[in-house]
Chains A and B, each alone.
Chain A
């Protein structure tokens, strides 16, 4: 091909994205990405979604990725475009979400000169991305894009950043698509057979087994969720899950214990504490899950399946670690279980214990009077929408935990939340991304009145693309989780946790072109929810709830699973200094 027939970098980029099956890009234009936007303008395959803030572009891409299983793609400009995206990139890293972020950069000859809208994007994102690139050679652009998608989506998924200087976008160059520029990049999908055999034998002998599952089951693909169900069926073991893994196992199953951890159910945490065999499947023993480490499940053997070798033995020592993809390992486990004709040990005594814990009714609440309890609002929302199998996103805080506790999921990819980083402002853009990836689904952001304001500008994005997302705000006029901790730890000194000067959310919604609904008391709750569902377009529901309700059960930071607070009467109002230092 003659030089003048070669495509520009921007055109090569579009070709690579097209070949990779990208149909949606979330972005915001700027000086350093104008050539790419011009190339986007002249094609029809890839739809560009104009967000209102680059952080939201990444969360939208995460919502798209987590709800569809395909990688999310982001396009932002240099400097502030890139730095605004950093929170989203870090969020995707902590929750292992496959996202490719394309950032514009000043021309290569200007790099390092403190040029206008220049920042060291690869330097800034080096430790918050799975991998990143600065494309200096136009001939390598297409190669890099192909490899970046491979890295973002394979192994433990994560965000990959490609920083593209403006001159590289303009330069004409050849098109190649190798995806193995880094031949040191290792993938281990199959687990070691002898370890899997050992795991099966341990499981077959366990009298009090538990399956502790996490986001890795969902990342492994829908097949992995099916295999998990099959494993639960043949072993008869009870199943609990982290926040990130909700939906991988159906909540309707009698073996389901609910979420575990800091705000998990009594039965899930007590079963973790008293099990004799813990099979951890694609979870990572996060501090929210384990509580105080030296008191964590003291008498159990622990098997840990994880695709990331560094997760094994990081926080909790595993008796048996299996490095591999959850789907592959579960498949092998089931094959071996069946080939050896294992029968599960009788677990009647174990389930009798579990049933006794269940009787504590740790998620119980009493809705009396007209004031809506937030738990009740979620319960009613769940009852009204469950037949539609909605996709639920959340912001971060009390409402997120109540949603995790009181909304129930029967399948994967229906629950999108910021778990690891805990990013307020995640839910609305994630709902937008999920709605774009699932046009026919009901998508609801269960939000708090404080979190929603962190990316409220995205209401415009929903209007522009006619996305019928619903925002359901549990408005208690407090940053409720902060206030709850202040009540528990700082003798109710509510420093800066009151949501002062809130807007009139109904008017705000209407100003953006949304439908706004206010629900003031229980009499209006079901009707308000019904009106929200019935409306063909974006709806913002301002649901006024009890202001000082706390999220229980709760294991305070640094406490053991057995030291769970079940209701307000367990609260002392202060913690010792060691506990205060923990988050």
Chain B
């Protein structure tokens, strides 16, 4: 085998025709060719609902990433593939909802930590909170780890969405 170089994490933005089967085709391409998906999000992004943007976080050597891009680019339903990691500075955000239960000091500590991490309370009962947190994957990971200590019972995460910095579209 060739030396494939160092493995790096890449965030890809893929715009596609919003029609049935497109996601299956893309996910199938990754599994069939042995590529990795660390995170995947998809939603339609135009007024007419005909184009979707898929954000995939994957990892691989530069050669593997180039090959992934080329493989995606030749699909009939794919309009554009942008490797945001290669393109330069970009903003990546992830959202998570966390359900934390308990009372007394733990409840107070959960509130304090949420405040420090700028997580919002979006639902509360006498025995529970639901926090909404937005930020980098790292920040969300850290917040979830902290909440485990103070009564975390459930997590829902959205996966990474990303966009390049500056005035030009990616």
Interface residues of A (CB under 8 A from B): 122-123, 126-127, 130-132, 134, 151, 155-156, 182-186, 293-294, 308-310, 312-314, 317
Contacts and interface: CB of A to CB of B under 8 A. Distances in A.
Nearest to A127: B28
Which of B28, B66, B74 is packed against the most chain A CB atoms within 10 Å?
A: B74
B76 A313 contact: no
Given A184-B78, A309-B73, A313-B67, A293 B24 contact: no
Given A126-B28, A294-B1, A317-B2, A310 B76 contact: no
A312 B73 CA distance: 13
B42 interface: no
Given A134-B20, A310-B67, A314-B67, A185 B25 contact: no
Interface string B60-91: 00010011001101101111100000000000
A182 B79 CA distance: 9
29 contacts: A122-B21, A123-B24, A126-B21, A126-B25, A126-B28, A127-B28, A131-B76, A131-B77, A132-B21, A134-B21, A151-B76, A182-B17, A182-B77, A183-B79, A184-B15, A184-B16, A184-B76, A184-B79, A185-B76, A293-B2, A294-B2, A309-B70, A310-B71, A310-B73, A310-B74, A313-B63, A313-B67, A317-B2, A317-B63
Contacts of B77: 131, 182, 184
Contacts, number: 56
Contacts of A134: 20-21
Contacts of B63: 313, 317
Interface string B6-25: 00000000011100110011
Contacts of B70: 309-310, 312, 314
B2 A309 contact: no
B86 to A, nearest CB: 15
B32 interface: yes
A184 B70 CA distance: 14
A134 B78 CA distance: 18
Contacts of A312: 70
Nearest to B24: A126
B27 to A, nearest CB: 10
A309 B63 CA distance: 13
Given A126-B25, A310-B71, A313-B66, A182 B1 contact: no
Contacts of B73: 186, 309-310
Nearest to B63: A313
A130 B80 CA distance: 18
Which of A122, A123, A185 is packed against the most chain B CB atoms within 10 Å?
A: A185
A122 B32 CA distance: 16
Which of A122, A127, A134, A293 is packed against the most chain B CB atoms within 10 Å?
A: A127
A151 B74 CA distance: 11
B170 to A, nearest CB: 16
Nearest to A308: B74
Nearest to A314: B67
A130 B76 contact: yes
B35 to A, nearest CB: 13
Nearest to A315: B2
Nearest to B66: A313
